[in-house]
Amino acid sequence: MEGRLIEAARGRVVAALAARFRDLDLAEEAFAEAAASAVEAWRRDFPDDPPAWLWRTACRKALDAVRRANTRKNAVHDAPPPEPTPEDAMIAADQPIPDERLRLIFVCCHPALDPAARIALTLKIVLGLSTDRLARAFLVAEPAMLQRITRAKQKIAVAGVPFEIPGPAAWPERLDAVLSTLEVAYAQAYEDAALTTETAAAFAPEVLRLSGLLADLLPGEPEVLALAALIRFAEARRPARLDDTGAMVPLSLQEPHLWRGDRIAEGAQLLDRAADLARPGPRQILAAIHGAHLSRQETGVTPWGDIARLYDALVMQRPGPVSEVNRAVAYAEAYDPDTGLRAFNAIPPQPTWLPWQAARAWLLDQTGQRAAAASAYDAALALGPPPAERLYLDRQRRRLG
């Protein structure tokens, strides 16, 4: 029970410590020391408010560490014990733990940091995931993950990344860095989760949690709410994404009764709140596309016309091959396969990119070009898709003979 209480308090306490001392390492170390002493101290005298106890104790540990470091730096020997500072007084006065998690998310997702390090650092500092767990989630060796995190922390400290909520001028760029960090991380977790390893699957719920936390902290930002909605919609489909043989099931062929109604409801509620704020953005469109697919659970049909129009809007806001390939597929469903293939052929070829090859194979198949479709499936399979997708593509290929 102590362990769970400590873990539950970690994110908030570490964030508050980091914000006060402007030092991520110090915050983590002080929290670890406080947690270690909690086990013994709580056995003797269980506190009324365990998180507050951890916060006060960790603050004292951090202050001690700062003083020790200053003493070493100033090389004052036999110095008298320091006088209590206003900070000591503040800690003693039972101040509530300030919620600094948003500030820390902005620090950890700063656009000046290596994109690959941002999400790992955020999950570590804000949610308290261990380096070992992060290494497994991101499919890298633990020393490599440790180095990634250490470098990012050093850059934050040495380059002067501010520990402030960004001001209005920097807000759009900084918020976008936070959102794209989560978005990229979730896309990775989404792929890995269904299609490769079990360890990686455990990582998607953490990004879901983080997106929910961000939506709680920034309820007035429609793109934040939309991202949280999007992740919930995608997670709702998880139970339907593989068939009994372990092969991927494309969204339009999934069994709607397997989709999680609770996640769909949460996502829909978040997306409604985003829409009420009346500031459209690409993540709202994406979430609406996911939501439209999920409406099949209620209506029994996929509203392909709506989805194609939503993709038109998405391509305007977020041009690029990802949006355009998906739009071509939606066109084939909403209008006819030839329209889809024409839209696809207008996209610059990306032969080494699996979604491009897979979409091309499917479109050629739909338009009755069996031989061309077969060789496109071969090209897709040659790119080394993850196991579930390989099974699906292989089945499609063999059907064509």
Site residues for other proteins per CB under 8 A:
110, 112, 158-162, 164, 166, 169-170, 174
| CB nearer to other proteins: pick between 162 and 321 | 162
Least Cβ distance, residue 161 to other proteins (angstroms): 5
Least Cβ distance, residue 170 to other proteins (angstroms): 5
Supply φ then ψ for residue 190, to 5 degrees. -65, -45
Least Cβ distance, residue 223 to other proteins (angstroms): 21
Q: How far is CA 134 from CA 28, 35, 112, 118, 198, in A?
A: 16, 21, 21, 12, 14
| CB nearer to other proteins: pick between 20 and 260 | 20
| CB nearer to other proteins: pick between 19 and 270 | 19
| CB nearer to other proteins: pick between 160 and 351 | 160
| CB nearer to other proteins: pick between 13 and 156 | 156
Least Cβ distance, residue 169 to other proteins (angstroms): 7
3-state secondary structure of 242: strand
| CB nearer to other proteins: pick between 7 and 164 | 164
- CA–centroid distance for 380 within its chain: 27
- Transcribe 310-363 into DSSP letters: HHHHHHHHS-SHHHHHHHHHHHHHHT-HHHHHHHHHTSPP-TT-HHHHHHHHHH
Least Cβ distance, residue 117 to other proteins (angstroms): 15
Least Cβ distance, residue 106 to other proteins (angstroms): 10
- CA–centroid distance for 356 within its chain: 24
Contacting residues for 101 by C-beta, under 8 A, at least 6 apart: 11, 12, 15, 126, 213, 217
Torsion of CA 328, 332, 338, 341, to 10 degrees: 20
